[in-house]
């Protein structure tokens, strides 16, 4: 029968790879806990309306990248393309707004975007992210950025640039957008097709186009940083001051506008030179209007998310998964030896040891080779004689020493050896 392949843009994470994922997840849990963030797990699918309203109808994500379907009850549902909208929905629905503020949440898991797959871009990918909801303190912006930098440092990922910008607020942004439209009007026809479209509906996004010709055409566009209102300018200056005091290097990039519509004030992105075209390791910013857009009271917030696949790629040389060493391989010979061996392996595992045995009817010699391949530190050999005597032959694979001991003693020796590490 014909085989069925995995859908385009998805990946299988096999055990060897999964060890690196686990190393990243362990580092992430530890770092997030140090900063006082608690884990939230929200559904993989939500009402389509949540993303349409939250992320913005005029964004690429909502317009053309969502996995939207109707369920059997004719509700429109969407596989989550990101984690912020779901976290904010839960914050409101579960009344986290009644707890002491800010509420600090982190999450990690699969996200879905119907994009053209390429290196660093998938249709099912994974994000780790954090949201600090309920404070407008610029120190919270700095904390989120410092926390991401801390995670990168922790896994040895040092080769990246942090780009920083402020895109203002509903008070000052409209005036800037008008100014930008005026400035771009004369070069409008030289913009790419999607920028011409953006020009109409989401003018800021024109600044974000990666095409050389669009970059050139918009090179002299006014900087949003010159149009910030006093509050946004103060906020930005304070975020910068904190980052300076924390020793976190950044590049001011007035063209950085981000692809989702909920941002206000601070926006940032971590860019890695080793990732090629899809160079954003992660990004985020402040979204002071989102809670209200989703039906809550005015509530400021700031957060970030990073692509886990991209982090793993960028940390290729430094983040290693630990291959767990096998404490014991139980090699058996003959029916009686086999019966004792099966029970002994289980006993070792219950005692907290890693033990393995053969399931392929291998000869003793082949079992020894297998033990070697698996990196077993000790092999316990049980033939019919040992089974009858209640003993095992214990071979230390490093020294090659071999001796006969009672079963209880073998368990004890292995536990001691484990403890020495
Ligand atoms: P975003 O910039 O859309 O932000 O995504 C964050 C990161 O997810 C990207 O920088 C990238 O590393 C990764 N990513 C996005 N799309 C893909 C893809 N198709 N394949 C692989 N990786 C991808 C957000 O999602 C916001 N929710 C971040 C945020 C949290 N802002 C405030 N709080």
Q: What is the mean pLDDT of residues 363-374?
A: 97
Q: What is the mean pLDDT of residues 195-221?
A: 90
Pick from 264, 291, 314: which residue ends a domain?
314
51 and 159 in a single domain? The answer is yes
260-301 confidence digits (pLDDT tens): 999 999 999 999 999 998 899 999 999 999 999 999 999 999
Q: At what angle do helices 48-55 and 84-93 cross, to 10 degrees?
A: 110
Pick from 314, 340, 355: which residue ends a domain?
314
Domain count, the chain: 2
CA–CA dist 304, 162 (Å, integer)? 13
Ligand 1, pocket-test mutation among 105, 305, 308, most atoms within 8 A of CB: 305
- Considering the domain boundaries, does residue 198 fall inside one? no
Rounded to the nearest whole angstrom, what is the distance from the C-alpha of residue 186 to the centroid of ligand 1? 33
* CA nearest ligand 1 atom 8, residue: 307
**pLDDT for the residue 149:** 98
Q: What is the mean pLDDT of residues 126-134?
A: 98
335 and 237 in a single domain? The answer is no
**pLDDT for the residue 385:** 96
Pick from 268, 284, 314: which residue ends a domain?
314
157-175 confidence digits (pLDDT tens): 999 999 999 999 999 999 9
Rounded to the nearest whole angstrom, what is the distance from the C-alpha of residue 306 to the centroid of ligand 1? 6
In short, whether 138's Cβ falls inside 6 Å of ligand 1 is: no
**pLDDT for the residue 286:** 98
pLDDT over threshold 70, residue 391? yes
* CA nearest ligand 1 atom 32, residue: 303
289 and 334 in a single domain? The answer is no
pLDDT over threshold 80, residue 94? yes
- Considering the domain boundaries, does residue 39 fall inside one? yes
pLDDT band at 420 (very low <50, low <70, confident <90, very high): confident
Rounded to the nearest whole angstrom, what is the distance from the C-alpha of residue 262 to the centroid of ligand 1? 13
pLDDT over threshold 80, residue 302? yes
23 and 49 in a single domain? The answer is yes
Under 8 Å between Cβ of 66 and 53 = no
Q: What is the CATH number of the domain that holds 261?
A: 3.30.930.10
Q: Which residue is associated with the tokens 């559904």?
A: 43
328-348 confidence digits (pLDDT tens): 999 999 999 999 999 999 999
- 217 versus 251: the higher-pLDDT residue is 251
Lowest-confidence range among 110-114, 186-190, 279-283? 186-190
Q: What is the mean pLDDT of residues 234-255?
A: 98
- Considering the domain boundaries, does residue 354 fall inside one? yes
128 and 29 in a single domain? The answer is yes
Rounded to the nearest whole angstrom, what is the distance from the C-alpha of residue 283 to the centroid of ligand 1? 7
211-230 confidence digits (pLDDT tens): 888 998 899 899 999 999 99
271 and 413 in a single domain? The answer is no
Q: At what angle do helices 230-245 and 138-154 cross, to 10 degrees?
A: 40
Question: What whole-number percentage of the chain has pLDDT above 70?
Answer: 100
In short, whether 291's Cβ falls inside 6 Å of ligand 1 is: no
Q: Which atom of ligand 1 is nearest to the CA of 129?
A: 30
In short, whether 208's Cβ falls inside 6 Å of ligand 1 is: no
pLDDT over threshold 90, residue 72? yes
Rounded to the nearest whole angstrom, what is the distance from the C-alpha of residue 280 to the centroid of ligand 1? 8
Rounded to the nearest whole angstrom, what is the distance from the C-alpha of residue 298 to the centroid of ligand 1? 25
36 and 74 in a single domain? The answer is yes
- Considering the domain boundaries, does residue 379 fall inside one? yes
277 and 389 in a single domain? The answer is no
39 and 104 in a single domain? The answer is yes
Ligand 1, pocket-test mutation among 283, 286, 289, most atoms within 8 A of CB: 283
- Considering the domain boundaries, does residue 394 fall inside one? yes
Q: What is the CATH number of the domain that holds 407?
A: 3.40.50.800
In short, whether 321's Cβ falls inside 6 Å of ligand 1 is: no
Residue 406 lies in domain: 328-418
- Considering the domain boundaries, does residue 213 fall inside one? no
pLDDT band at 419 (very low <50, low <70, confident <90, very high): confident
Question: What whole-number percentage of the chain has pLDDT above 90?
Answer: 92
**pLDDT for the residue 7:** 98
- Considering the domain boundaries, does residue 178 fall inside one? no
Q: What pTM, to 2 d.p., does this model score?
A: 0.95
17-49 confidence digits (pLDDT tens): 999 999 999 999 999 999 999 999 999 999 999
* CA nearest ligand 1 atom 23, residue: 307
In short, whether 261's Cβ falls inside 6 Å of ligand 1 is: no
Q: Which residue is associated with the tokens 């001011």?
A: 252
Under 8 Å between Cβ of 331 and 362 = no
**pLDDT for the residue 210:** 84
- Considering the domain boundaries, does residue 256 fall inside one? yes
32 and 128 in a single domain? The answer is yes
290 and 368 in a single domain? The answer is no
pLDDT over threshold 70, residue 421? no
252 and 350 in a single domain? The answer is no
Q: What is the mean pLDDT of residues 138-153?
A: 98
**pLDDT for the residue 95:** 98
**pLDDT for the residue 325:** 87
Contacts by 112-118 with C-beta closer than 8 Å and gap 24+? 112/66, 112/67, 112/79, 112/80, 112/81, 113/61, 113/65, 113/66, 113/67, 113/81, 114/64, 114/65, 114/66, 114/67, 115/9, 115/65, 117/8, 117/9, 118/277, 118/278
Helix count and strand count (H, E) for the chain: 15, 16
């Amino acid at each position: 029968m014909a085989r069925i392949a995995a859908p385009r843009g998805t990946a299988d994470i096999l055990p060897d790879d999964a060890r690196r994922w686990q190393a990243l997840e362990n580092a992430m849990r530890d770092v997030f806990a140090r900063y006082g963030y608690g884990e939230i797990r929200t559904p993989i699918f939500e009402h389509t309306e949540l993303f349409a309203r939250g992320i913005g109808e005029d964004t690429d994500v909502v317009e053309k990248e969502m996995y939207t379907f109707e369920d059997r009850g004719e509700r429109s549902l969407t596989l989550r393309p990101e984690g912020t909208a779901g976290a904010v929905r839960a914050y409101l629905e579960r009344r986290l707004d009644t707890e002491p503020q800010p509420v600090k949440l982190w999450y990690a898991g699969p996200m879905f975007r119907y994009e053209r797959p390429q290196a660093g871009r998938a249709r099912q990918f994974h994000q780790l992210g954090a949201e600090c909801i309920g404070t407008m303190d610029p120190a919270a912006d700095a904390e989120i950025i410092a926390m991401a930098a801390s995670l990168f440092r922790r896994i040895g990922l040092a080769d990246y640039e942090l780009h920083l910008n402020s895109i203002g607020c509903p008070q000052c942004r409209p005036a800037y957008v008008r100014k930008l439209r005026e400035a771009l009007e004369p070069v409008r026809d030289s913009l790419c097709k999607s920028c011409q479209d953006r020009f109409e509906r989401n003018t800021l996004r024109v600044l974000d186009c990666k095409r050389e010709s669009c970059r050139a055409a918009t090179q002299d566009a006014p900087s949003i940083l010159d149009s910030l209102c006093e509050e946004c300018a103060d906020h930005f200056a304070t975020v910068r001051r904190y980052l300076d005091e924390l020793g976190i290097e950044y590049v001011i990039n007035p063209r950085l506008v981000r692809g989702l519509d909920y941002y206000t004030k601070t926006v940032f992105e971590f860019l890695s030179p080793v990732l090629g075209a899809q160079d954003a390791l992660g990004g985020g910013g402040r979204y002071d209007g989102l809670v209200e857009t989703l039906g809550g009271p005015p509530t400021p917030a700031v957060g970030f998310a990073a692509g886990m696949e991209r982090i793993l790629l960028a940390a290729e040389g430094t983040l290693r998964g630990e291959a767990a060493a096998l404490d014991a391989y139980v090699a058996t010979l003959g029916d009686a030896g086999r019966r004792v061996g099966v029970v002994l392996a289980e006993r070792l595992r219950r005692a907290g040891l890693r033990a393995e045995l053969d399931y392929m009817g291998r000869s003793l010699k082949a079992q020894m080779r297998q033990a070697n391949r698996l990196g077993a530190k000790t092999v316990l050999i049980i033939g019919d004689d040992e089974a009858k005597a209640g003993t095992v032959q214990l071979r230390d694979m490093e020294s090659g020493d071999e001796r006969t001991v009672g079963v209880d003693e073998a368990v004890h020796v292995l536990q001691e050896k484990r403890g020495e590490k």
